[in-house]
Amino acid sequence: MIGKTSSISFTGNQLSRELKYIRRPDNHAASHERWAFLFDTAAINVGHDNFSVKGKTALELVEIASCANTPALLLGILTMHPNSYIRESVAANSSATPEILAVLSNDPVLHVRIEVAANTRTPVGVLAEMSRQGSHVRIRRAVASNASSSEDILHALSKDPDTETRCNVASNVSTPVDLLRTMAGELDTSKDDHNHHNTKAKVRIRCHIARNINAPEDVLLLFTSKHENIKVMCEVALNPSASAIVLERLAAMPYEYVRYDVAANHNIPDHILAQLAKDQSERVKLAVALNPNSSLETLKLIRSDNPDLMHSVEMAINERLEAYGILLRKST
């Protein structure tokens, strides 16, 4: 294959054979050496198009490798480029084929493998292999965040010794509801034996569960206990999936930061905003004024001696009146 030719042609079958060859770790060095020669000396024919990397800078090739419109055949060829930044860009490309990603999952460079672990097109079998104990912690973290990870993978990673990996499982939208319930139950901070590090880790994971849009109502209600960590309650308050029951409980909390985040939730019902419009905190009232869900009637409930706050309220009222006027004009 290596000769003095200035042009080589590639078909899908030829590329598949080359990818199978390079996928074996023992062949990485030899394959990269062979392809380094070709990339430096040859034009590569991809289908009916003539593509040459000769004279192109590494930055230009990174841009090509990153482009979602780059043909899969060309991405496959760039998979064998000796420059790891180019291979990393291929690994992160949403158009990379499962075959390409399977090859790059064995890349000798860690950053390339991390991008493979994060790519939602990576086959589940490859993700399972990459997530096994003994793999680099940053790879396990990436797999834990990947929405394409299977339930089995996420169950296994929920027991990972690394806190960040477990946090990523907790916030993954593909994590099963039952697993979120299990993790929440196992993370009861009231059971801690004064281990500060352990408590801090549990709070972080609970925060990630609390912000998961698929967290069930019973789990979010669990996090509205008066003994719950304020950071966790704030995450629940901002969760767009939090129900009215959950938000009502949090709106009655004595913590200003929690009530402020409740008032800032864009899916909050107006009757809770009306309750918070009469809050003692100026910050909470401001959040009500800035919330697009606040009705005209709710905005008129806000009272304050703070001119900046009342200016924001006035602007919000004018916006509602303007929108109401537009609707009236459209209906006539």
Highest mean pLDDT among 27-31, 45-49, 262-266: 262-266
Is the pLDDT at 272 greater than 90? The verdict is yes
Q: What is the 3-state secondary structure of 170-196? A: HHCCCCCHHHHHHHHHHCCHHHCCCCH
Q: How confident is the model at residue 9 (pLDDT cuts 50, 70, 90)?
A: very low
Rg (CA), the chain: 27
Cα–Cα distance between 320 and 259 in angstroms, integer? 24
Is the pLDDT at 250 greater than 90? The verdict is yes
Structure tokens at 251: 């709106």
Structure tokens at 270: 């107006």
Q: Which of 76, 203, 200 is nearest to 211 (CA)?
A: 203
Is the pLDDT at 278 greater than 50? The verdict is yes
Is the pLDDT at 16 greater than 80? The verdict is no
- Digit-coded pLDDT (tens) for 131-177: 997 899 999 999 999 999 999 999 999 999 999 999 999 999 999 99
Is the pLDDT at 96 greater than 90? The verdict is yes
Q: Which of 152, 171, 44, 35 is nearest to 103 (CA)?
A: 35
Q: How confident is the model at residue 100 (pLDDT cuts 50, 70, 90)?
A: very high
Q: What is the reported pLDDT for 198? A: 76
Q: Are 84 and 35 in contact (CB under 8 A)?
A: no
Q: What is the reported pLDDT for 13? A: 60
Q: What distances in angstroms separate CA 161 from CA 125, 133, 157, 176, 201, one per listed residue?
A: 22, 10, 9, 20, 11
pTM: 0.81
Is the pLDDT at 329 greater than 80? The verdict is no
Cα–Cα distance between 137 and 128 in angstroms, integer? 14
The domain spans of the chain are 1-122, 150-242, 255-332
- Digit-coded pLDDT (tens) for 46-80: 554 555 666 678 888 899 899 998 888 888 888 88
**How would you label 5-26 residue by residue, b for 16+ Cβ within 10 Å and e otherwise?**
eeebebeeeebeebbeebbeee
Q: Are 294 and 316 in contact (CB under 8 A)?
A: yes
